[in-house]
């Protein structure tokens, strides 16, 4: 039985796995202690739970439990990594390299660093969303202290060549940070093998609770330090003060453990779903997949439909919870900056849909999505004068529109 609306927006957030909720529940009532209370069993019980979760999280990414700093989510982790490195390594330099298709948490942290007197180079990726390694190498200066490039893109799912990027950073004695929010728990991530120095991720993208995440901070070869952005009781090795969210941390740990056990099979199942959806939707004339199709996350498809207005398309598929390439800002309908940075024109960037499949997505839901989108696109094009002009062979780019 299908229940509506059908949720295909797992890049935005995922529903909590019932097994995660079950692990968390005792820490809301009977085991409610503060993990920093060292004088009685309530505190010890909470601390034990946090330590166990730290091990579960570390195991998923092949880190040491001591390298896991708990935060409120990936946004805070990105802020702590970028601002924390900038302040800690100020004597060494003030230059950061990133890419203009990063998540806003990285881009806005970099903008903040610029206000503090830092210098940031924003690289543009290739048309398929992959960053050019030669561009990274060329951007390095004697003052470069950090390269921050995301692992898997949240809009188009493209996976960056992490090992090659970290090798460049190592060669020049520069730290490498990656926002791996969309990748951890979906594809194998190994901070040791991939020489990652700092890495941000969060629970709610892998069937855990919202409001809890982690920052991996390497402890040796090299030993990485960041200045805290929240001051207080010196929790989390002095990098992040604040009473620990014990139920949330337990949930993150359990979510990581489940991903470790089920991720490989899940990736096969989800990529089959994604490929089937793409194959069917690409039978629609003038439909395009955005981003590299060889190097990408297993559960993400981003497709543009030419001469279809994005908002109209969203209205036409009300039964599907997906995200559109155009984010509604209060005053204007801005097309996605990620797609614009790949070189897509406004028309294609506006008419894109992002499908994010997840653990609870079914084949039946995918069938429905395929039929529903096909119907909506054809209907909108039937009503569109632009589509009619395009079919008549008129070059729409050469048309001069009259203003009233």
Work out the number of other CB atoms within 10 angstroms of the CB of residue 34: 13
328 is catalytic: yes
Beta strands 287-289 and 300-305 are: antiparallel
Residue found under tokens 């960053």: 131
* Main-chain dihedrals φ then ψ at residue 16, nearest 5 degrees: -75, 135
Reference 241, options 1, 35, 26; nearest CA is: 35
- How far apart (Å, rounded) are the C-alpha atoms in residues 143 and 123? 17
Spell out the long-range contacts of 236-242 with Cβ–Cβ below 8 A and sequence spacing 24 or more: 236/69, 236/70, 237/66, 237/69, 239/69, 239/80, 239/84, 239/215, 240/69, 240/70, 240/71, 240/76, 240/80, 240/215
- How far apart (Å, rounded) are the C-alpha atoms in residues 80 and 209? 20
* Rounded alpha-carbon distances, angstroms, from residue 68 to 50, 52, 90, 308, 399: 11, 12, 24, 45, 56
Beta strands (DSSP E) in 240-310 are 287-289, 300-305
- How far apart (Å, rounded) are the C-alpha atoms in residues 393 and 287? 17
* Main-chain dihedrals φ then ψ at residue 168, nearest 5 degrees: -65, -45
* Rounded alpha-carbon distances, angstroms, from residue 383 to 52, 309, 329, 352, 375: 58, 11, 26, 18, 13
DSSP 8-state secondary structure symbol assigned to residue 396: G
Q: CB of 274 within 8 A of CB of 301?
A: yes
Residue found under tokens 């209205």: 315
Q: How far is CA 253 from the centre of its chain?
A: 19
Q: Report, as residue numbers or ranges, the catalytic residues.
A: 328
């Amino acid at each position: 039985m299908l229940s509506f609306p059908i949720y295909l927006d797992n890049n935005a957030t995922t529903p909590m796995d019932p097994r995660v909720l079950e692990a968390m529940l005792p820490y809301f009532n009977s085991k409610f202690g503060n993990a920093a209370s060292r004088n009685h069993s309530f505190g010890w019980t909470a601390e034990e739970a946090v330590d166990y979760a730290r091990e579960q999280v570390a195991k998923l990414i092949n880190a040491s439990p001591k390298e896991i700093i708990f935060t409120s989510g990936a946004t805070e982790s990105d802020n702590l990594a970028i601002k924390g490195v900038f302040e800690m390594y100020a004597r060494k330099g003030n230059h950061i390299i990133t890419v203009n298709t990063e998540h806003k948490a990285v881009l806005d942290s970099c903008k903040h660093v610029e206000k503090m007197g830092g210098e940031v180079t924003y690289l543009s990726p290739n048309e398929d969303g992959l960053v050019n390694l030669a561009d990274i190498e060329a951007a390095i200066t004697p003052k470069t202290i950090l390269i921050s490039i995301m692992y898997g893109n949240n809009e188009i799912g493209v996976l960056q060549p992490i090992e090659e990027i970290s090798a460049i950073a190592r060669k020049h004695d520069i730290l490498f940070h990656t926002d791996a929010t969309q990748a951890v728990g979906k594809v194998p991530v190994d901070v040791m093998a991939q020489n990652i120095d700092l890495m941000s991720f969060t629970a709610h993208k892998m069937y855990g609770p919202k409001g809890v995440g982690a920052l991996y901070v390497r402890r040796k070869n090299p030993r990485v330090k960041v200045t805290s952005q929240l001051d207080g009781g010196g929790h989390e090795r002095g990098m992040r003060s604040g009473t620990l969210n014990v139920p949330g941390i337990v949930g993150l740990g359990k979510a990581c453990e489940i991903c470790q056990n089920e991720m490989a099979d899940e990736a096969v199942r989800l990529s089959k779903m994604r490929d089937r959806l793409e194959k069917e939707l690409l039978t629609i004339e003038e439909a395009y997949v955005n981003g590299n199709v060889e190097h990408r996350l297993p559960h993400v498809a981003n497709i543009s439909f030419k001469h279809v207005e994005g908002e109209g398309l969203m209205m036409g598929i009300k039964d599907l919870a997906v995200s559109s390439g155009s984010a509604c800002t209060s005053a204007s309908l801005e097309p996605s900056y990620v797609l614009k940075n790949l070189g897509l024109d406004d028309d294609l960037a506006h008419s894109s849909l992002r499908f994010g499949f997840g653990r609870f997505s079914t084949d039946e839901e995918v069938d429905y999505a395929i039929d529903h989108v096909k119907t909506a696109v054809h209907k909108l094009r039937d009503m569109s004068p632009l589509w009619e002009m395009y079919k008549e062979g008129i070059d729409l780019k050469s048309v001069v529109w009259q203003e009233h």
